[in-house]
Amino acid sequence: MIELLIVLGLILLNGLFALSELAVVSARQPRLKALAANGKAGAQTALALSADPGKFLSAVQIGITLIGIINGAYSGETFGEYAYTAFRDLGLSETAAAALGYGSVIAVITYLSVIVGELVPKNIALRNAERIACLVAPAMTAFSRIARPAVWLLDNSTRLVFRLLGQAETTESQVSDEEIAILISEAEAAGVIESHEREMISGVMRLGDRTVVGLMTPRTDVDWIDIATAETEIRQQLIDTPHSLIPVGEGNIDTLIGVVRTRELLAAILDGKPLDIRPYIHKVPIIPETMDALDALNILRGADVPVALIHDEYGHFEGLVTPADVLEAIVGVFKSEGEDPYATQRIDGSWLLAGAMPVDEMAAKLTIALEPKRSYATVAGFVLAQLQHIPKTGEIVETNGWRFEVVDLDGRRIDKVLASRL
């Protein structure tokens, strides 16, 4: 009975080492840091172990190896003799009894070691890695100190082999956008965050990858006032425009000199003052089309009037960006009067997409991969890049497992695209 308890104890001790190994290795450092900040016992020690995994893994391997050797020798010697005697008493020859006796003991001990000493502890460790890491870290640290000479030898031997192989001893912890997206999707599926929260988080992540061209209102959609236009025409523009800020130019849209606030002009008109635009023109930042969206956001924060004019490398006006454009990139487009949403899913599963829809939003909805470096920012640009010519209504391109059909043109501009899964 004592012999059986000793063997079971060794198997459980092996399970403790296996549990500790996977818990510390699988524990997420941000979570451990949060637990340490909250005063969780063992969290700081677990952080120290995960920061130097080479020494910790060497110590665990020493423990598991020693237990395996001791358990194999002890159980084989103790229970092998019992099994041998039992089989011999059944009438088997000494050779057959010895083979079956020792073989059956090894099989049973191996089975228990794999199940109780490896698989069950590791599955437990995966279910709550951080909490278990905090529990076992003090004991593993104490064992590492006791086995320090052997740990030093194994750790340095491992480093030497890495150098001979030309490999780095440690790797930087890197998290990709795809991993973050998967984590967010898992949090949504578990009910930790709402669907709308996931969409906004995804929008923030996309914002960091965009240039300002992916946010701007293009020049073809910009309402502007020519300062040389007759007063009656300017008054009519102020009545018709839905915008609170309107760019002002001299002669053409490429010579914009600033913006005016419609409420200031309307207030002057209501006071009976003559309509003179120049005193109400505000200077605004002019930024290049290659600027990152987040850099443009910083400029908007510091601007006296929250709007920036975007010019290309030749000095031509390309469009403008406002805080509302940044907000739409995060939470989605707002349906205003006369405007349709960027994407509408139909009953058959196909999508009716606006040509002006940002291409990364389209890729997220259709779950397709785009090349990291691309010269276009909208669905229209994506279709043009595939066709390599100005399309006619009804032209089709098939790519990424989808069929894109140009269903509406506004002059030469692609206005609507129908996307159907192949």
Helix (H) or strand (E) holding 214: none
CB neighbours of 331 closer than 8 A, spacing ≥ 6?
A: 199, 200, 203
Q: According to the model, what pLDDT value does residue 151 have?
A: 74
Query: Average per-residue pLDDT in the chain?
Result: 82
Of 87, 55, 49, nearest in space to 155 by CA: 55
Q: According to the model, what pLDDT value does residue 309 have?
A: 93
Q: Residue type for 141, please? A: T
pTM passes above 0.75: no
Q: Which pair of tokens denotes residue 217?
A: 């209102």
Residue-level pLDDT, tens digit, the chain, 422 residues: 677 787 788 888 888 888 888 888 888 777 888 888 887 888 888 888 877 777 778 888 888 888 888 877 777 666 666 676 776 666 677 677 777 767 777 777 778 888 888 888 888 888 888 888 888 888 888 888 887 787 788 777 877 887 777 765 555 556 666 777 777 877 778 777 887 788 888 888 888 788 888 888 888 888 899 888 888 888 888 888 888 889 998 888 888 888 999 888 888 888 878 788 888 899 999 999 889 888 999 999 988 889 999 998 888 899 999 998 888 888 776 665 445 678 888 888 888 988 888 888 888 888 888 887 778 888 888 889 888 888 888 888 888 889 999 988 888 888 898 999 88
What's the gap between Cα 84 and its chain centre? 60
Helix (H) or strand (E) holding 320: strand 317-321
Tell me the domains of the chain and their CATH numbers.
2-165 (no CATH), 177-209 (no CATH), 212-331 (3.10.580.10), 343-421 (3.30.465.10)
CB-neighbour burial class of residue 395 (10 A; exposed 0-12, middle 13-18, buried 19+): middle
Q: According to the model, what pLDDT value does residue 171 have?
A: 52
Q: According to the model, what pLDDT value does residue 156 have?
A: 79
Which residues on neighbouring strands pair with residue 317, listed in sequence order? 311
Q: According to the model, what pLDDT value does residue 247 have?
A: 92
Q: According to the model, what pLDDT value does residue 76 have?
A: 66
Q: According to the model, what pLDDT value does residue 337 have?
A: 47
Using CA atoms, how far residue 204 sits from 199, 301, 351, 395, 396, in Å, is: 9, 17, 23, 34, 32
What's the gap between Cα 223 and its chain centre? 37
Using CA atoms, how far residue 263 sits from 86, 148, 242, 259, 267, in Å, is: 102, 76, 11, 12, 6
Q: According to the model, what pLDDT value does residue 286 have?
A: 92
